Amino acid sequence: MFDRRTLFQAAAGIGGALTAFAGGRKAEAKLPKGSDLEPRGTDRRLERLPSLDVESREDFLTQLRIWSGRDVRRVANRRANKILKNKGLSPRDPMSYVEAAKLLEDDHIIGLSGRAWISVQQIMWKNLQDEFHSNGDAYLEELEAADTAGPGSVDLNPDMDIPMYAKHEIHMQPGGYVGDPLGGYVYHYGTNNFWQGRNYQDEMDQQLAETIPIPKDGKVKRILHLGCSVGQLTCRIKEKYPDAEVWGLDVGGPMVRYAHMRAADLDIDVHFAQRLAEDTKFPDGHFDLVTSFLLFHEVTSEAAEQIIQEGYRLLRPGGVFFARDHRDKPTTTTTAMAGYAQYWNWRWNHEVWMMDHLSNDYPKLMAGAGFDVDTETPGNYSGFGGNVMGVKPA
């Protein structure tokens, strides 16, 4: 098999220009020659989708998601305010998720807004899964060839006893995180769509990596990212702390397998492992920083508590556990529409553990595990209200 990426870039005369662009891949990726499937070349960090057909459909669906998430949503918000006003309520009156759902769920305009979003989500998954599975053997070969390539490594555990709670098809992704061997490809391009085109170059992850707090003494020799999925943030953390040993860990074999392949292709030296965040197999006091992003809303409350205890065990004195997710404390919502959106995400987008997450008090759980909870340092980022930081007492 020849390397069509090189051929493409040489023919177009743009290889040098693209790789020189900020954040571009380095020249010497170490994947075995010929194993890297890139029929349409790369746009800096992003391998282009394999056909114009699938790419144009994804572009269309991304625009449709933007339209449904912004314009249609705006109309739905106005409608919600009108419904509230007719009931003598203000949009800012605190309201529980259940009350908000009862009030808003049967309205046809609000329903249309949700339907449009969910249809994009469904068609998006199908578009991507059909594409990668139609050439499934080649993608499996690509993954297999990368398993032993460097830099970095992947530790897969095909016999792992996966807890039931992690087997759900969260966000309706077919096979979820654990059940589709090509799930990493599907998730990566699916989330590109989900983030509305703002993360093609992992730029959102780069910003996230910039804002993760570190121990006060500034020492970060070893970093662990729990629930790393396809490793974009893990790679950005390594780029931010190039001298640290960085690990990304996920219950999904297809996730970490793809994550490693991509990191090796980008020449980023990160280690990935298929393990549970609540049972990481690392020694006590091994890490300076343990972090997670959007993990806790996808696990049971019981697992959340265990993960926090495991984080405490893994950290050295003075080490930091920083978790970022939808919420940190149990909340009634400030607006009925925001509350309804969380309920709706649970009900229609298969966010199976979202309501459990919203009832958890993370600062309290962290304090219970022994952490000093820092409520000052963690800043907010882009709408994620659930930043929580625990420091292991020295």
Nearer to ligand SAM, 76 or 251 (CB): 251
Q: What angle do CA 356, 307, 280 make, to 5 degrees?
A: 140
What minimum distance in Å lies between the beta carbon of 205 and ligand SAM? 6
* β partners of residue 279: 276
Nearer to ligand SAM, 72 or 346 (CB): 346
Nearer to ligand SAM, 76 or 228 (CB): 228
What minimum distance in Å lies between the beta carbon of 227 and ligand SAM? 3
What minimum distance in Å lies between the beta carbon of 189 and ligand SAM? 13
What minimum distance in Å lies between the beta carbon of 94 and ligand SAM? 28
Helix H segments across the chain? 4-12, 15-20, 52-66, 73-86, 97-104, 108-134, 136-147, 183-194, 203-210, 232-240, 253-265, 301-314, 336-348, 354-359, 362-369
Q: Which two tokens stand for residue 256?
A: 């970490």
What minimum distance in Å lies between the beta carbon of 179 and ligand SAM? 11
How many beta carbons lie within 10 A of that of residue 235, not counting itself? 27
Point out the residue whose Cβ comes nearest to ligand SAM: 227
Q: Report d(CA 116, CA 280) in Å as an integer.
A: 39
What minimum distance in Å lies between the beta carbon of 211 and ligand SAM? 13
How many beta carbons lie within 10 A of that of residue 250, not counting itself? 29
How many beta carbons lie within 10 A of that of residue 182, not counting itself? 22
Q: Which two tokens stand for residue 283?
A: 């020694």
Is the CB of residue 207 less than 8 Å from the CB of residue 232? no
* Spatial CA neighbour of 41 closest among 52, 28, 31, 32: 52
What minimum distance in Å lies between the beta carbon of 249 and ligand SAM? 6
Nearer to ligand SAM, 91 or 254 (CB): 254
Nearer to ligand SAM, 217 or 279 (CB): 279
Nearer to ligand SAM, 64 or 212 (CB): 212
Nearer to ligand SAM, 72 or 354 (CB): 354
- Residues in contact with ligand SAM by the rule CB under 6 A: 166, 177, 227-229, 232-233, 249-252, 255, 276-278, 293-295, 298-299, 303
Q: Report d(CA 67, CA 305) in Å as an integer.
A: 38
Is the CB of residue 291 less than 8 Å from the CB of residue 323? yes
What minimum distance in Å lies between the beta carbon of 23 and ligand SAM? 16
Nearer to ligand SAM, 252 or 339 (CB): 252
Q: Report d(CA 172, CA 21) in Å as an integer.
A: 35
